[in-house]
Chain A
Amino acid sequence: MSDSPPRVGVVKFASCDGCQLTLLDLEDHLLEIAKSFDIVEFAEASSRRSPGPYDILFVEGSISTQEQANEILELRTQTAVLVTIGACATAGGVQALRNWADHDEFRSAVYARPEYVDSLATSTPIADHVTVDAELRGCPIDGGQLLELLSAVVAGRRPQIREEAVCLSCKRRGTVCIMAASGAACLGPVTSGGCGAICPAMGRGCYGCFGPVLDANTESLTAWLRASGRSDGEIGRLFAGFTAYAEPFRSVVTRSRAIASEEDPRARE
């Protein structure tokens, strides 16, 4: 990159805009960010628009329509460093649950005139379509991780974003393990940290919004869930959250749904 500040774009596909807003939520650092980066495309922040090229492009959302599939290919050609942000962009999002369902049936059930809705049968992560250089996970992403990434770009170093389970964050903050202390179902042991373990600290199980940690042992966790009396339907639903389509969560969902529907066809609904 040249001496002028990097040209940055923030774009979205199928998503809620919450991850982009995390950038705006970095209130104390916004002036510095504006100094260090030339934000040329960020519809949530400014009506000033630019088609590129971008030194860095933050991409939110999953690919849910053919139009989006075409657009991400075009954006990739305009972009030096492409960073996906959030569960939708990195894992397909909660809308990827339709990947297990009958797309036409869903459309008919939801929309009065389904023929006007031109969507793909699947919701897929950006990395299924183009090469991704970095990703920030979560629903929404963590402001600290975003700031770290921006700081790293400016310092010319690799961001310090670790691949480790949510459990480390729980333990460092002193949260009592809700699995051991109450038998609660928690995806923390198989989910990538970075969120600061906020959910277990509030007494509820991690629902996996940062997606599977490297080498996630979902086999062992599902065995524990089963041994603790959970049905396959329940186990499937536990993994069928914001990152359901990311392996190995995807396999758990697929298998649990198959077993559950064998036992009770209504469980598929």
Chain B
Amino acid sequence: MTETAARFLARDRLEDLVHALARPGGVEVREVIAPTVEDGAIVHAPIESAAELPRGVRDVQAPGVYRLEETEDELVFAYAVGPHAWKRRLFPPQRTRLTFAGDDGRGAFDAADDASPSRNGDQVVFLGVRACELAAITVQDIVFACGPYTDVSYASARGKAFIAAVQCTHPASTCFCTSMGTGPAVTSGHDLALTEIEDGFVVVAGSNEGVELLESLGLPLADEDRRSSAQAAVRGAADHIERNNVGVDGSLARRLDRFPEHDRWDEVATRCLACTNCTMVCPTCFCSRDIHTSVLGQGEAGAERQWDSCFTVQFGEVAGGNFRRRLRDRYRHWITHKFSTWWQQFDASGCVGCGRCIAWCPVGIDVREEIRAVTEGEHGEDPREGDPFQAREGAQVRAETVGAGDTPGDGVPEPPPVMATVTSARWETADTVTLTIATPPGLDVRPGQFVMATLPGIGAPPISVSRISGAHFEITVRSVGQATAALCALAPGDRLGISGGYGRGWPVDEAEGCDVIVVGGGIGLAPLRPVLDWVLEHRDLHSGVYVYTGARTPDDMIFAAEMADLELRKDVTALRTVDRAGPDWLGPVGVVTQLLDPDAWAGESAVAFVCGPERMMSATLDALLDAGIASDRIWLTTERHMECGVGLCGHCQLGPFFVCKDGPVFDAAQLGPYLGIEGI
């Protein structure tokens, strides 16, 4: 960048600026998206002329209230943020994520990642971006574009956007950017930044492209008076927010995750409509779902990616259960994520203080009030010290590697599913099938990881791998929903899309030289089978091997023959139990924890691998800890609703973790504090 001196754009030359923004080289190449009045609000829409900017308009905002008033002046940027966030352009409400072409025998998926922020697919100008909104874009850069997987559509749209920011001079009562440290002054991330003063605009460039554009306009330098009025206007906005507005104590807000059982969650749930408006207007909320569908008579079935919200009932739903069925849990999740666990995930706040969620909540719920009510009596210093819910390595390591300084596009593009062929299908129980799948080229999957098993037009559930052997891998699927039912119906020769292996697997190496304890409940034995395979294959590298498994009834036991064989081995202790016996069952009846035999284990050096329903894992964890096994030597794997598998859709959160990328395997020190919290 060669020059950053402030220039002056006279009010009557605003049209020249809009013209230059649209046609930087003299030809029309860019769509200019700017604030404009529509339906009683200032929204973002493409403009052709500066005359379409909101002239002489003021906004009045309060909890649940947004109104426009007209004034006599000529100001065009004298208002705070409206209902539209720039994410509409970078992360569109709906876009095609996958296309599937060809019939079942030859079809393949393709990633459709070329969404554009503009109608014509070319470069675009965002005119009127405020400091809080720039901060929000940076937050979404971290979420979408800094890895480990990248939303290519977002990164591509981001690269096409020229940002003409505007300094905030007229904040609303709902603004609290000063609390969150994001505004009101634009300091970085812009190509141009304008400050509106009485007779025009003081303009500075923030990038080479901005400098070139300013040069093309041939603007005079801004004189001392104008520069100081511009500075005073922004300072005035900051003072106004600080003096008049309700703020948020950011360090207190970071402690929200300490209060999962606070009464306020029940109280706010009586007011909250679960309408999702706060999340939809939030400039950082990034959750999405993939709609796999097909249209009658059309051979192609892809997937549409659509804005989703953690306030919907289905957000935490998996076939057979719902991790956040109660509204109190959903509200708690949203606000805790935004202000608290976001830090652990992305080393940033998920809130930028724009106040949209306050103004656009139909019943006027004010996050600032909710935070105060929950953290009342708390102190703001050292937010993470001694925190029982402190995220451990998983989240913190990522915060170090994926910080605000990373460049968008650093991650691996989220891949489309690769088609793979089923080579055998074996019914384990009346509702559970093990599919053997020829490993498609390039697919790398490790014990404990999962794959997204995509069926065109039906769905893409995450399924743990239950065996990895040479050119094949296995998945064991219980038919509990429409997608799993369709997977169970696959026959040898059928094809399905596979992406993965995803997530953190079992650290099988850590068990070397140790007693190995494997505890599985029901279908939870499936992800543990690769551990057993590994340990038995390297039997001499391990000390004692103890395998405890439980099922509802003898008929519900998966891998029954293999487990029976295991019981016969002299070098393995294998025990099975059932909740309810059948006529032929001679073994133990009762919960799996009854089988555990701590006296047999070398407690301090044992390593345990556990998977099953969360209540079973919780009970098992207590027993293992009682036996003296260190919590960081107990490994658990867990389940959540997933749409993408790569950390972009937001569904699989469990406290500060994304189960898809921080897990699904966790050590008990990480996961333990969360296992007992209902609806986390």
**A-to-B contact residues, CB < 8 Å:** 29, 32-33, 35-36, 147-148, 150-151, 154-158, 160, 162-165, 167-168, 171-183, 186, 188-190, 203, 214-215, 217, 219-221, 223-224
Contact = CB atoms under 8 A, between A and B. Distances in A.
B270 A220 contact: yes
A167 B280 contact: yes
Contacts of B88: 174
Contact of A181 (B39, B309, B327, B459): B39
A219 B270 contact: yes
A217 B458 CA distance: 32
Contacts of A182: 40
B271 interface: yes
A29 B298 CA distance: 10
B296 A176 contact: no
A162 B458 contact: no
Q: Decide if the interface of chain A is mainly helix, strand, loop or mixed.
A: helix
Contacts of A156: 486
B482 interface: yes
A189 B273 contact: yes
A203 to B, nearest CB: 7
Which 3 A-B pairs give the minimum distances between C-beta atoms? Answer: A32-B297, A171-B280, A189-B275
Interface in B81-98: 83-84, 88, 93-94
Given A181-B66, A189-B362, A168 B272 contact: no
20 contacts: A32-B296, A155-B294, A157-B458, A157-B482, A163-B313, A164-B314, A165-B274, A165-B312, A167-B275, A168-B276, A172-B307, A176-B38, A180-B83, A181-B67, A215-B274, A217-B274, A217-B327, A219-B270, A220-B273, A223-B363
A188 B314 contact: no
Contacts of A178: 39-40
Contact of B297 (A36, A148, A167, A179): A36
A176 B40 CA distance: 8
Interface string B357-370: 00111111000000
Contacts of A176: 38-41, 43, 83
Contacts of B275: 165, 167, 188-189
Given A172-B307, A176-B43, A220 B295 contact: no
Given A150-B296, A176-B38, A171 B274 contact: no
A155 B457 contact: yes
Contacts of B605: none
Contacts of A148: 293
B277 interface: yes
B276 A180 contact: no
Given A157-B457, A174-B88, A176-B38, A151 B294 contact: yes
Contacts of A221: 273, 362-363
A217 B272 contact: yes
A180 B65 contact: yes
B291 interface: yes
A154 B296 CA distance: 7
Nearest to B304: A160
Interface in B274-312: 274-277, 280-281, 291-297, 306-307, 309, 312
A147 B362 contact: no
A172 B306 contact: yes
Contacts of A164: 276, 309, 312-314
Interface in B159-204: none
B64 interface: yes
Contacts of A173: 93
B39 A224 contact: no
B35 to A, nearest CB: 13
Interface in B41-96: 41, 43, 64-67, 83-84, 88, 93-94
B277 A171 contact: yes
Nearest to A36: B296
A172 B92 CA distance: 8
Interface in B362-405: 362-364
A108 to B, nearest CB: 41
Contacts of A217: 270-274, 327
A35 B276 contact: no
A150 B296 CA distance: 7
A31 B363 CA distance: 47
Given A172-B306, A181-B67, A189-B362, 8 more contacts: A150-B296, A155-B457, A171-B276, A176-B39, A177-B277, A180-B359, A180-B360, A223-B363
B59 to A, nearest CB: 10
Given A171-B93, A217-B274, A177 B295 contact: no
A172 B66 CA distance: 19
Nearest to B38: A176
Contacts of B312: 162-165, 168
B296 A151 contact: yes
Contacts of B327: 215, 217
Contact of A167 (B64, B277, B482, B486): B277
A156 B363 CA distance: 42
Contact of B293 (A35, A151, A163, A219): A151
A212 B446 CA distance: 46
Interface in B11-44: 38-41, 43
B366 to A, nearest CB: 13
A158 B482 contact: yes
Contacts of A177: 66, 83, 277, 360, 362
A29 B296 contact: yes
Given A157-B458, A180-B359, A35 B41 contact: no
Q: Which of B88, B93, B277, B360 counts the most chain A CB atoms within 10 A?
A: B277
Interface in B330-368: 359-364
Q: Which of B40, B293, B296, B306 has its CB near the most chain A CB atoms (within 10 A)?
A: B296
B93 A172 contact: yes
A25 to B, nearest CB: 15
A188 B363 CA distance: 13
B280 to A, nearest CB: 3
A80 B528 CA distance: 41
